[in-house]
Amino acid sequence: MKRILIVTGQSGSGKSSALQVLEDLGYYCIDNLPLALLPEIVGKLDKENNLEQLALGVDVRSTQEDLQGFEQVFQQLQKHGAVDVIYLSTQDQGLISRFSASRRPHPLSMRYQSLNECIQAEKNLLMPIQLKATVQIDTTDKSVHDLKDTLLTKLGQSDRLIVILQSFGYKYGIPLDADFVFDVRHLPNPHWDLELRKFSGLDQPVVEFLSMSEIANEMFDDIYQLLLKWLPTFAEGHRHYLTVSIGCTGGQHRSVYMVDRLTKALAKDWPIQVLHREMKHWS
């Protein structure tokens, strides 16, 4: 077996949807198995079936002892292929809204009085798995189609370190799945120029405007030099993905410009994936 994905995360964050996407991508998917049984079942599948891609859904319904012992399960699974852990999360208010809309009980509702208590307890129980996550995805504002695009982005490359450069707007919230977050709201803002407002950071008028800014050039140099220095170290640590998120106020001009400029500078040495999170809001 070449690749094993463990898909887990907070209840209501989209695990079932993620497994459906992976099934469409050709993964053999199994959901809701107790953690302790995974090594035995995967070993049997590996021996009796010619599977190259396997996705395993895991949630908080496994026993607390099994969740705490995830490291041992992870090591046993590595005997059968390369293992990645995909951890899905959603901001608390988003989860509360989803459970309210669906009227479905939280898996821990029999043990805690309030939904908020269930959410906080689940975070703690899943922490041993989250710490092993190679891919973390914040699904707070993602539709099923957005989740599919994100999974395709993060799973569609080779074993080399993939650098994901993401622009975002602070007015829509900080992405929780970022490894690095850089704030570029202090740069000159094209939004206040009525001629530039309709463009994005990908368009030449905005590129020229920001390229003439000394502070924008200094910010680019600092971020670029930091990544240039540390990306080899992350790659040597067997990281599969590194997400660098750059934010401005609305996610249309300054952050997009910086992501595009970094992409061109880094692409000759590293596989790059680009996500402009707020593109749907661009004027």
Instruction: Please name which of 6, 154, 29, 148 lies closest in space to residue 82, comparing C-alpha atoms.
Output: 6
- Sole residue written with tokens 């914040």: 138
Six-digit token pair at 152? 């395709």
* Residue 62 marked ligand-binding: yes
According to the annotation, is 14 in a ligand binding site? yes
10 is in an annotated binding site: yes
158 marked ligand binding residue? no
Q: At 208, list the tokens.
A: 């020229």
Q: What is the DSSP letter of 35?
A: G
The reply, when asked if residue 72 is annotated as ligand binding, is: no
User: How many Cβ atoms sit within 10 Å of the Cβ of residue 134?
Assistant: 17
Q: Is 16 annotated as a binding residue?
A: yes
- Residue 234, phi then psi, degrees to nearest 5: -65, -40
Of 86, 120, 91, nearest in space to 106 by CA: 120
Q: What is the identity of the amino acid at 205?
A: P
State the virtual CA torsion across 183, 153, 129, 15 in degrees, nearest 10: 110
Helix axes 115-130, 92-102, angle to 10 degrees: 120
200 labeled part of a ligand binding site: no
61 is in an annotated binding site: yes
Report whether 172 contacts 281 (CB < 8 A). yes
Q: 281: part of which helix (H) or strand (E)?
A: none
Residue 60, annotated ligand binder? yes
Question: Cα-atom radius of gyration of the chain, to the nearest Å?
Answer: 21
Is 11 known to sit in a ligand binding site?
A: yes
In contact, 68 and 128? CB cutoff 8 Å: yes
Binding residues for GTP: 59-62
Binding residues: 9-16, 59-62
Binding residues for ATP: 9-16
